Amino acid sequence: MQWFFALNDSAPAFRQYADMAKVAVHTALGHTALEPHCIYDGEENDFTAWLERRNVRVIRCQTSLLDDIAALGERRKNPDLLRATRGVFLRLELPALQKRFGFDDRVLYTDCDVIFRREVADCLAPLHPRYFAVAVESDTARLDDVNTGAMWMHLPALRERDEEFRSYIRAQMDDLPAVSWDQGAYRAFFRRADGMPLWDLLPPELNWKPYWNEYAGARIIHFHGPKPFQRNHIDSHWPELKFLTGGRYAELCELWQQLLDEAM
């Protein structure tokens, strides 16, 4: 089963996100049968060398929305916007990349900030969503509030909507930063005319949040909100994220650091 994540090396926190990707790869190789693939916009460096030593396929790719992000930066008078966010739409390239490279019809995509705790293929293989399946975000009772940090994607069906989806994103580009960029686009675009979602639901164990407390049954832990590298600076730098540091967040940051030490 093929697993994809994405990074761009011009992002200000690239090194920190590269470390998170290392933990994700290390735990995927240790606990699952997934085949890791990195969609990468950037130059060769010690991170790509680390990936290649572990036989992670590095797919060099730029988003087709590059000019649109640059135009948004100009409208906002923010010359650093493109550099910081040129990787946010890289997962949108997967349907086209499948046609080019012959990837499986259904693949797993996750953000970099995950830990794989157990096998996931046995949960995902029986699922056949029309477009994609995702789990809930913060509140497990709100089934309409989903998070795209882990997506089980049906690439041929997504490719059929590809041009339409990109056109939608271009039209909504000014509003997307406020709704987590591509996550907001997926959540708004993939709906029926009556507003009902076109996605399927994954069990929360496949996108488990540290602030949900007990994680023994979790298969994928996703650092939604504050990342491990932010832990010691929440009060001074990211106070708006403090409400997401409860539960097992501190404990899982310690675990994450241990795993990073192993991965290095």
User: Domain-by-domain residue ranges, the chain?
Assistant: 2-263
- The confidence score (pLDDT) of residue 210 equals 97
The overall pTM is greater than 0.95: yes
Distance, in Å, from the CA atom of 172 to the CA atom of 119, rounded to the nearest integer, reads 37
The class level of CATH for 2-263 reads: alpha beta
Structure confidence by residue, pLDDT tens digits, 40-74: 999 999 999 999 999 999 999 999 999 999 999 99
Helix (H/G/I), strand (E/B), else coil: 245: coil
How far, CA to CA in Å, does 151 sit from each of 90, 186, 238, 247? 14, 11, 27, 24
The residue-averaged pLDDT of 186-195 equals: 96
Alpha-carbon distance 63 to 17, whole Å? 18
Task: Identify the DSSP state of 230.
Answer: G
Q: What is the pLDDT of residue 102?
A: 96
For the segment 182-205, the average pLDDT, to the nearest whole number, is 96
Task: Assign 7 a pLDDT band (cuts: 50, 70, 90).
Answer: very high
Helix (H, G, I), strand (E, B) or coil at 28: helix
Average the pLDDT over 146-175 and give the result. Answer: 98
Mean pLDDT of the chain: 96
165: CB partners within 8 A, 6+ apart: 92, 158, 185, 189
**What whole-number distance in Å separates Cα of residue 37 and Cα of residue 34?**
9
Crossing angle of helices 249-263/14-31, nearest 10°?
80
**The pLDDT value given to residue 142:** 87
pLDDT at 143: 83
Distance, CA of 51 to CA of 72 (rounded, Å) = 32
Helix (H, G, I), strand (E, B) or coil at 128: coil
What is the C-alpha separation between 37 and 57, in angstroms, rounded?
A: 5
User: H or E stretch including 38?
Assistant: strand 35-41
